[in-house]
Structure 1
Amino acid sequence: MKPTYMTIIRNYFHHFHADVAMASFSYTRPGLRVQSLPEFYRLWYIKEGQGVLYMNGHRYEVQTGQLYLLPPGSQIVFGSETLPAIGIYWCHFRASMGDMQLFELLQLPFCVKPVHGDHIIDCFESLIHAFHSTSLSSDLRVKAGMLEVIAYYLDYCGQQEEIMQRIDSLEVIDRVLEYIDEHLDGNIGVDELAKLAFLHPNYFISFFKSAVGFSPIQYVNRRRLEEARRLLEQTDRAVNEVAGQVGLQNHYLSRLFKQHIGLSPTQYRRVHRESHLLLEEGDH
């Protein structure tokens, strides 16, 4: 997948927020039943059994080991006509990622079959236990379990580059992001970025933020910080030379590092290399 497309997706999930409404494990009763999907998503993992699912006019075979992410707003018919019943881990959650809903935008498959089913079961067990807990950390553990399951789902969705190439808004953003990457060492203004998108600067800012998850200036600074980190990790160039290569003065680069990482560029390089040496020693 193109690096700029990956950037868009990762930035979306950087801002991903979800509220879990309910989580549990259930056995279905024999027979097919109509279920509506209101404003929340449904996350299912089929632990045992088999059955059938009708959604959007299509029939699907439900089997053990399948992981489902069902979008809101649909009506489904689901169940097993014979014994044994289907055993399902499930979670209902609401999710928002700004003006564009990424799951629908990418036309992601609603069913995958991961290899590591035992780990997904562990995640659901932890999620369910945390959901019914009254401990101070329960909300954090609920989100951690749910996000881990969604991460597995995404890992098995496959690359969606062909779909992304057909989305006009992402094609425009792709052009802008490529320009930013090619001009990190110079001055990058909102007006010139807006011209690339054929938009008025005032509208471009909101358009960019809805598509990428950051304002143009925030994104440019993030990319400069990422490139500076790469140069510090992979080269011996002086800090002021690194700053110049990412279009920043030395003191501003230092301010960005301290603000986002908590270390100066020099400290970051030293810590990174010390950590790398420790990892190499651990491999021997």
Structure 2
Amino acid sequence: MKTTYQTIIQNYFHSFRAEVSMAAFSNTKPGLVVEDSIDYYRLWYVYQGEGQIILNDRIFDVRAGHLVLLPPGTPQTFGNSERSIGIFWCHFRASLGDMQVFELFKLPICVIPENKDQMIGLFTKLIEAYHSRGITRELRMRSALLDIIACYLEHCDLSEQALVDNETLEKIDRVLEYIDVHLAENIGVEELARLVYLHPNYFIGFFKNFVGCSPIHYVNIRRLERAKRLLEETSDQISSVAMKVGMKNHYLSRLFKQVTGLSPSRYRQIFRSSYRGQFLEERGVPVDDDDSRTIF
């Protein structure tokens, strides 16, 4: 998939926030039919049995082993056959900006994870956390939910064509490509806004809605990422690295320290030292490195 599309997707889900409102395991009665219109997400893992979901006049067959994600805001009908159906499930609400993720990425209703035990384990953790009264309850619910959603996304066939056909994403793609090509230069909001024929004030909100941060913050993120690669893969002087990413030496050092807790030179030293140690250990070579400073 195109790098800029990957960036859009990664940043989109980086901003993902979800709140679980209910989690449980249910065995439905045979012949059950339920019609509903909801304002939250439904997430199911079918443990046993089979049924049908009608969503926007489309029929989806679901059976044991299926992981199902149903979006809010659409009438839904579920029915099962003469047999009962066992479902791990949860309801959650999420804020992903002004556009619904289903509309943006054309996500499927149903996927089939390979590891059944993993899915059962994750839903069990989610249900146990929901019933907990401990101070870590919210963290553990969120952790389990995010793991389940990550499994769902990993089994989605995200179509690049769906992104290409989206006019809004094409605009963002144009901006992100421009930023990557011109990182060594001064980049202003005005020139980025001109690329997509938007007023700078409107462009900032437009960009943040999709990428999850302001244009200037994103430029700094990309500059820092490129600086890391240069520090890892070349022997360039720090001043040369700063110039190649469009920063003054002192600003790169300050940003690096702020984000990683390390100066650029210490980052390079620790990265190469830890990589060397891992490389040797994987080949059974003893490593004797007592430099405790590498963690600082």
2:7 and 2:45 map into 1 onto residues whose CA distance is 29
The TM-score, its normalising length taken from structure 2, stands at: 0.92
- Aligned pairs (5 A) from 1:245-284: 245-284=244-283
2:293 aligned partner: none
Contact 1:4 1:178 in 2 (8 A): yes
Deviations 1:47-103 (A, max 9, x none): 1111222222122222110001100022222232212x1111101000112222223
Identity %: 53
2:126 aligned partner: 127
1:50 aligned partner: 50
CA 1:277 to 1:35, structure 2 compared with 1: closer, same or farther past 3 Å? farther
CA 1:35 to 1:278, structure 2 compared with 1: closer, same or farther past 3 Å? farther
1:277 and 1:169 map into 2 onto residues whose CA distance is 44
1:27 aligned partner: 27
1:167 aligned partner: 166
Q: CA deviation at 1:214?
A: 0.9
Deviations 1:116-140 (A, max 9, x none): 1211111111111011101111111
Deviations 1:122-164 (A, max 9, x none): 1111111011101111111100100001001111111321011
Mean Cα displacement is larger for which, 18-27 or 101-110? 101-110
CA 1:269 to 1:37, structure 2 compared with 1: closer, same or farther past 3 Å? farther
1:35 and 1:240 map into 2 onto residues whose CA distance is 64
Aligned residues: 283
* 1:200 and 2:199 correspond: yes
2:67 and 2:88 map into 1 onto residues whose CA distance is 9
1:282 and 1:89 map into 2 onto residues whose CA distance is 42
2:149 and 2:232 map into 1 onto residues whose CA distance is 31
Contact 2:50 2:81 in 1 (8 A): no
1:216 and 1:134 map into 2 onto residues whose CA distance is 41
Q: CA deviation at 1:195?
A: 0.8
Deviations 1:206-237 (A, max 9, x none): 11111211111000000001111111111111
Mean Cα displacement is larger for which, 2-11 or 35-44? 35-44
2:47 and 2:281 map into 1 onto residues whose CA distance is 38
Q: CA deviation at 1:35?
A: 3.4
2:29 and 2:74 map into 1 onto residues whose CA distance is 22
The residue identity in structure 2 corresponding to 1:28 is T
1:216 aligned partner: 215
The TM-score, its normalising length taken from structure 1, stands at: 0.96
Contact 2:107 2:158 in 1 (8 A): no
* 1:227 and 2:238 correspond: no
1:91 and 1:274 map into 2 onto residues whose CA distance is 45
2:217 and 2:25 map into 1 onto residues whose CA distance is 42
2:116 and 2:274 map into 1 onto residues whose CA distance is 33
Secondary structure of 1:31's partner?
Answer: coil
Secondary structure of 2:32's partner?
Answer: strand
1:119 and 1:49 map into 2 onto residues whose CA distance is 19
Q: Which runs of 4+ in 1 moved over 6 A?
A: none
* 1:113 and 2:112 correspond: yes
2:11 aligned partner: 11
Secondary structure of 2:93's partner?
Answer: strand
Contact 2:105 2:158 in 1 (8 A): no
Deviations 1:174-220 (A, max 9, x none): 11110000000010011111110111111111111112111110000
Contact 2:43 2:89 in 1 (8 A): yes
2:234 and 2:117 map into 1 onto residues whose CA distance is 42
